[in-house]
Amino acid sequence: MTTLHGHVDEGLRPLLAELEQALATDPDLSFQVAALHHGRPVLDAWGGPHLGEHSVNVPYSVTKNTIGLVVGLLVQRGELDLDRSVADYWPEFAARGKGSITVRQLLSHQAGLPQSEPPATAADLLDHHRAAELLAASRPLWAPGSGFGYHALTIGSLADELVFRATGRTLHEVYEQEIREPLGIDFFLGLPADQEHRLSAVLPVLGGPVGGPAPDPTSWVGQVMRVPGEQVDLANDPRSYRYGHPAASGTGSARGLARLLAATVTGVDGAAPLLDAETVRIIGQQQVRGYDQVLGQESRAHAIVFQKPTSAMPFGGPWSFGHDGARGALAVVDPSVGLAFAYTVARGPWPGGADARAVRLAAALGRSLG
């Protein structure tokens, strides 16, 4: 159970030494890892007792990559303009001082809506419109543009409604019809019943103090990201993964995530990428960097939805972008070197967020292949 299975190009094998050593010393570690270089698979491997070659699981906020790519497609087609106000597409959103918020601000965590008032429940969030209606009626927590803070779940509900107002289709429908199905992507917004036999549970993180670290007193995370009422396990509750919240509960494999980023950004199977180079530059351009006033973290940076590399998570070069997930997963792309990378994990390390081993591997692959 400690063997690394699959394929890696011979010249890249030394880069996997850390993961191979981790498998040998941690019998509970289970992961999948995949990378494509200019559309060609150079790494497709898995190891550990909880994830096999064909397993899928929920990589939490890695799912946000789907939002950014759908938005990119609509920007490329002229169906969304990042510099128009959200209210131009969604008039009700203008309520309570939000009329000037742009699509760009909304999709880079600047809108001041990490939760609605009253707070959205899990049932509201796992619905295409209910959480969005609450958010549209809410006053921003901060003056839009005065700062940024992670909209962990609400960015998915906000983007879903924005896409619906611009196209008449939900974000899920655009993703399925325009990206997942035609490009053969093994990553779903809403796991189909015929794929549930492949599902592997996401397990609690390993290590760390009982009860977790003391909260940062300057962070609002415990106050403004609270979900009242019945709690839903985003990764393991069927209500969540069958819906597939675009911010947190898509389901798939590392192979699927790497192909998703490659097919849209660098191209696969000899075909041109779905997004042209100019669109990739637009959605991958940094919008904010610095202190996240929701998470209370000093080193955060976002493009349009996507995360950018920082000193805390140096996964690639200046043109790279992607997203990590709460229990260790990571999926990123560096168009400047043609690399698409993904890592999924069943039981990640403390304290959560991208597994540092995956961050180091993504960066090393970029340097080696660049």
Domain that holds residue 71: 5-207+234-369
Task: Please indicate, yes or no, if residue 285 is contained in any of the structural domains.
Answer: yes
Q: Indicate the number of domains in the chain.
A: 1
The answer as to whether 229 is a domain residue is no
What is the spatial distance between Cα 138 and Cα 152, in angstroms, rounded to a whole number?
17
Q: Is residue 53 assigned to a domain?
A: yes
CATH number at 31 reads 3.40.710.10
Q: Is residue 223 part of a domain?
A: no
Return d(Cα 342, Cα 363) in angstroms, integer: 12
Residue 216 located in a structural domain: no
Each residue's pLDDT tens digit in the chain (370 positions)?
A: 458 999 999 999 999 999 999 999 988 899 999 999 999 999 999 999 999 999 999 999 999 999 999 999 999 999 999 999 999 999 999 999 999 999 999 999 999 999 999 999 999 999 999 999 999 999 999 998 899 999 999 999 999 999 999 999 999 999 999 999 999 999 999 999 999 999 999 998 877 655 445 555 566 766 777 788 888 999 999 999 999 999 999 999 999 999 999 999 999 999 999 999 999 999 999 999 999 999 988 999 999 999 999 999 999 999 999 999 999 999 999 999 999 999 999 988 877 889 999 999 999 999 999 8
108: phi > 0 → left, psi -120 to 50 → alpha, else beta; which? alpha
What is the chain's length? 370
CA angle 312-314-320, nearest 5°? 130
Task: Please return the burial class of 143, using the count of CB atoms within 10 Å of its CB with bins 0-12, 13-18 and 19+.
Answer: exposed
Q: Are 176 and 250 in contact (CB under 8 A)?
A: no
C-alpha dist (Å) from residue 113 to 136, 153, 174, 260, 279: 9, 10, 24, 28, 26
pTM: 0.96
Q: What are phi and psi of 197, to 5 degrees?
A: -65, -15
Q: How many whole angstroms separate alpha carbon 342 and alpha carbon 119?
A: 33
Query: What is the per-residue burial (b if ≥16 Cβ within 10 Å, else e) of 336-361?
Result: ebbbbbbbbbbbbbeebbbbebbbeb
